[in-house]
Homo-oligomer: A and B are copies of this chain.
Amino acid sequence: MVRKGILFVVSGSSGVGKGTINKAVLEKVSDIRMSVSATTRPKREGEVEGRDYFFVSPDEFAARVKNGDFLEYAKVYSHMYGTPRQFVEENMQKGYDLLLEIDIQGAMKVKEQMPQGVFIFIQPPSREVLAQRIHGRGKDSMDSIRARLAAYEQEMAMRKHYDYVVVNDDLEEAVYKVQAIIVAERCRVRI
C-alpha cells in the first residue's frame, strides 16, 4: 500500500512572503509538489499549461464550479482562480505531498473539505514592526494606516484555525521552519 500524500496549506495575507517561502521550500524538500490552480486568465509568455496553471475558459470554469470540482475558488480582479480537487486528490493517492499556497479565506474553504491537511499560517512580523514599516514609508494616510492595522488584528485572530504559525521575520528562518514542519509531519503517526 502506498503511503498517502499530505496536503500542506501555506497561507497568509498578501505580501506576507508565502510565495517566496514556498519556492525555497520546494527546492529544499524532496518528493513534494506544488498544487496547480485552474484560472480563466490568459496564459502569459513563458507560462506552461499544467505547470503554472491549468488555463480554462470562463464557461468551463463555471461548469466545473457547478460540478463541485474545486476545493475552493475565488475571483481576483476580473479572473477566476480555483484549486482542482482532482489534481490534489490524485497526487495524494499516488503518495505525493502537496504544497498549496493560498490566502486565508481560501485556506478556510480548503479546510472544510480537507480537514486532514496541515495548515500553516505565515505571520507577518509583530504589529510594531508592521506599524513602523508603514510609518517609515511616510506616504500612507492615517486612515489607510488604521485600516491596515485593523486588518492585521483580524488576521491574527485567524491563527487559531491553523495547525502551525510561522513568523516571517527572517526569510531563511521561516523557510527552515516550514521545512521542519514538513519533515515532522512525515514522521507523524496517523491512525
Give the Cβ gap from A183 to chain B, nearest Cβ, in Å: 4
In the bound assembly, the distance between CA atoms of A187 and B173 in angstroms comes to: 12
Of residues 170 to 191 in A, which have CB atoms within 8 Å of B's CB atoms?
A: 176-177, 179-181, 183-185, 187-189, 191
- Tell me, in angstroms, the Cα distance from A185 to B188 when the chains sit together: 11
Q: B189 to A165, Cβ gap below 8 A?
A: yes
Known contacts A181-B184, A183-B184, A184-B181; decide if A189 and B160 are in contact (CB<8 Å): yes
A164 at the interface (CB under 8 A from B): yes
**Interface residue from B165, B176, B185, B189 paired with A162 (Cβ < 8 Å):** B189
Q: Kindly list 5 other residue pairs between chains A and B, CB separation below 8 angstroms, not including A165-B189, A181-B187, A184-B185.
A: A160-B191, A163-B189, A176-B183, A177-B183, A180-B184
Q: Can you show 19 pairs from A to B with CB atoms below 8 A apart? A: A120-B187, A121-B189, A159-B189, A160-B191, A163-B189, A164-B184, A164-B187, A165-B187, A176-B183, A177-B184, A179-B180, A180-B180, A180-B181, A180-B184, A180-B187, A181-B184, A181-B187, A183-B184, A184-B185
